[in-house]
Structure 1
Amino acid sequence: MHLNDYQRESRTTARYPDLGSNLIYPTLGLAGEAGEVADKVKKLIRDRNSLVDDRFTQDIALELGDVLWYIAQLSTELGLTLEDVGKMNLEKLNSRSKRGTLHGEGDHR
């Protein structure tokens, strides 16, 4: 599946107030779902000695899907495609790699 196809199809399932002009809802959803991913990893370390098995991988895949859904909705709210977001990210990372600035802080290094 291509990212833009996912974005288009996922939009058909979007149900939240002021759809089309609401940055807050998908942003808060993204933060919440990313927190759920982090919580599952934390519990993996605490309760399972960091043992990754098929069940854990499936559970994380479902949570990552939720993260992707919110990224798609926020991108749509901003008039961005997921493919454009991905391309911009790779361009940024490749530029940092060429300049030796992958390490460090700040968005514009």
Structure 2
Amino acid sequence: MNADNYQELAMRTLAAGLTPRERLTNAALGLSGEAGEFADTVKKHLFHGHPLNREELLKELGDILWYAALACDALDVRLSTVMAANIEKLRRRYPEGFSSERSQQRSE
């Protein structure tokens, strides 16, 4: 499955009738909530002695992707466009791959 196909299929489960502003708000709140659930699962593993719940993490990542697709929909942009722009930004920032030195010296 490619990113744009995912976005199209994911948006089939969006409640009808939401304005772009409502979709963007839903995406922002949903991303925050799902990222928190992902972090909480990691926290329970690292600090509470729970076994790493890989299936739960994958579920939360799926939810995060859904809300990212919703944000793209609200902004009228394809998920693949955002992905490509992010890779281009990373290439400019770290042309030889990540380095701590370049990270510490970057201004953006």
Pick the TM interval, shorter chain.
0.7 to 0.9
Equivalent residue, structure 2, for 1:44:
45
Q: 1:71-103 deviations in whole A, cap 9, x for unaligned?
A: 000111001111001000000001001287751
Identity %: 33
The one-letter code of the counterpart of 1:2 is: N
Return the alpha-carbon distance in structure 1 between the equivalents of residues 34 and 4 of structure 2. 21
Q: Any stretches of 5+ residues in structure 2 without a counterpart?
A: none
Given the superposition, is the C-alpha separation of residues 16 and 91 from structure 1 closer, same or farther in structure 2, using an over 3 Å criterion? same
Runs of 4+ in 1 over 4 A off after TM superposition: 99-102
Return the alpha-carbon distance in structure 2 between the equivalents of residues 31 and 62 of structure 1. 15
Q: Any stretches of 5+ residues in structure 1 without a counterpart?
A: none
Shift of 1:19: 4.1
Return the alpha-carbon distance in structure 1 between the equivalents of residues 105 and 66 of structure 2. 28
1:66 matched to 2:66: no
Return the alpha-carbon distance in structure 2 between the equivalents of residues 18 and 58 of structure 1. 31
1:10 matched to 2:10: yes
Q: How many residues align?
A: 104
TM-score by length of 1: 0.82
Q: What is the root-mean-square deviation of aligned Cα atoms in Å? A: 2.4
Return the alpha-carbon distance in structure 2 between the equivalents of residues 46 and 17 of structure 1. 43
